[in-house]
């Protein structure tokens, strides 16, 4: 007979683990300053202060680098919505409250440094960026269905932090600027530590209430959408990012889903009851389907890229 606990009981039971995990995080996290990652000497005034407004010719970023930077920055900008979700589901008491505050402060740094970089280097149109931020933040978080409770939230953020880490890291590569690459590597290192905190908490949830936790994990994974869901052009930009290997289905499967499930030992554990076993079967079917989808996606992508390359060759030199 497996246990069934309320939200409040789970939070109370796991608080000592949260405290341990918080202390571990604080000992691992490196202090860093956004201003050290921005090439201020590339900056100059805009027209309102006697200079020149943005023009596409000023940007050194490729189209795909622009799209990836904007998508990742708008995701970071939406922090108040994520803060609300986490604060509601993790509570504000004791170690939970300290974590929520600390995590929020660390995340805020990501938006600060990326915006400073993009505005100073004139990498993207600052007016369009501001308009998109207004729309995205006004919409708030578009969480799929109504994910409620600690377990679903902690499962979602585990996968989301890892996905964000990969997306930032690969965006750094396509920027073709060592300064951007260094900045995004710095952010990725933060996302990795966040992921470890959430993954550890979710593992503790699995040990405490295996069936409840696996049901939450299965629900979250089978409904997974990236956090930028709801921002202007999200679908089109997501397709572009997948096409250029910044965040695609294989990365989602092999660098996010599988390593985390392996870390939790999902397919080898023997502490599930009947409900957990059903969830585990659903999860196994989902992973299998994803493996097929990866191959289909790559086949289509290869064809598309080949067609684009052929078209490029036909253009007059």
Q: Which is nearer to Fe ion, 66 or 194 (CB)?
A: 194
Q: Consult the annotation and say whether 136 binds a ligand.
A: no
Q: Consult the annotation and say whether 291 binds a ligand.
A: no
Q: Consult the annotation and say whether 110 binds a ligand.
A: yes
CA distances from 98 to 11, 19, 247 (A): 14, 9, 31
Q: Consult the annotation and say whether 107 binds a ligand.
A: yes
Cβ distance 280 to 221 under 8 Å? no
Cβ distance 68 to 167 under 8 Å? yes
Q: Which is nearer to Fe ion, 161 or 248 (CB)?
A: 161
Q: What is the DSSP letter of 228?
A: T
Q: Which is nearer to Fe ion, 54 or 99 (CB)?
A: 99
Minimum distance between the CB of residue 104 and Fe ion, rounded to whole angstroms?
10
How many angstroms separate the CA atoms of 33 and 47, rounded? 29
Q: Which is nearer to Fe ion, 107 or 211 (CB)?
A: 107
Question: Distance between the two ends of the chain, CA-based, in angstroms?
Answer: 72
Minimum distance between the CB of residue 110 and Fe ion, rounded to whole angstroms?
4
DSSP letters for 17-83:
HHHHHHHHHHHHPPP--GGGGS-GGG----GGGTS----GGG--S-HHHHHHHHHHHHHHHTHHHHH
Minimum distance between the CB of residue 19 and Fe ion, rounded to whole angstroms?
20
Minimum distance between the CB of residue 193 and Fe ion, rounded to whole angstroms?
8
Q: Which is nearer to Fe ion, 197 or 272 (CB)?
A: 197
Cβ distance 29 to 106 under 8 Å? yes
Q: Which is nearer to Fe ion, 255 or 291 (CB)?
A: 255
For residue 245, report the phi and psi dihedrals to the nearest 5 degrees: 70, 25
Minimum distance between the CB of residue 9 and Fe ion, rounded to whole angstroms?
27
For the chain, give percent helix, strand, coil, nearest 5. 75, 0, 25
Minimum distance between the CB of residue 275 and Fe ion, rounded to whole angstroms?
31
Contact footprint for Fe ion (CB under 5 A): 107, 110, 161, 191, 194
Q: Consult the annotation and say whether 191 binds a ligand.
A: yes
How many angstroms separate the CA atoms of 212 and 208, rounded? 9
Binding site for Fe cation, by residue number, is 76, 107, 110, 161, 191, 194
Binding site, by residue number, is 76, 107, 110, 161, 191, 194
């Amino acid at each position: 007979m497996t246990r069934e606990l309320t939200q409040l009981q789970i939070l109370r039971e796991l608080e000592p683990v949260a405290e341990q995990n918080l202390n571990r995080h604080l000992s691992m996290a490196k202090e860093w300053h956004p201003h050290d990652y921005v090439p201020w000497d590339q900056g100059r005034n805009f027209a309102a202060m006697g200079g020149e407004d943005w023009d596409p010719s000023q940007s050194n970023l490729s189209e795909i680098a622009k799209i990836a930077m904007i998508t990742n920055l708008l995701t970071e900008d939406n922090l108040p919505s994520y803060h609300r979700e986490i604060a509601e589901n993790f509570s504000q008491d004791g170690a939970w409250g300290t974590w929520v505050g600390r995590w929020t402060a660390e995340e805020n740094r990501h938006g600060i440094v990326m915006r400073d970089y993009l505005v100073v280097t004139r990498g993207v149109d600052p007016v369009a960026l501001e308009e998109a931020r207004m729309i995205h933040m006004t919409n708030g978080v578009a969480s799929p269905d109504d994910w409620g409770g600690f377990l679903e939230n902690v499962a979602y953020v585990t996968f989301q932090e890892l996905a964000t880490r990969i997306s930032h890291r690969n965006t750094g590569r396509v920027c073709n600027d060592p300064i951007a690459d260094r900045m995004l590597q710095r952010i990725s290192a933060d996302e990795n530590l966040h992921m470890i905190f959430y993954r550890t908490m979710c593992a503790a949830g699995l040990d405490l209430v295996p069936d409840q936790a696996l049901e939450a994990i299965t629900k979250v994974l089978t409904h997974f959408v990236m956090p930028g869901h709801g921002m202007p052009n999200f679908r089109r930009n997501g397709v572009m990012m997948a096409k250029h290997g910044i965040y695609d289905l294989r990365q989602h499967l092999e660098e996010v889903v599988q390593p985390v499930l392996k870390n939790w030992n999902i397919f080898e554990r023997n502490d599930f009851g009947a409900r957990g076993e059903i969830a585990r079967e659903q999860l196994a079917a989902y992973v299998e389907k994803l493996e097929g989808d990866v191959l289909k996606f790559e086949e289509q992508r290869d064809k598309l890229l080949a067609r684009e390359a052929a078209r490029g060759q036909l253009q007059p030199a």
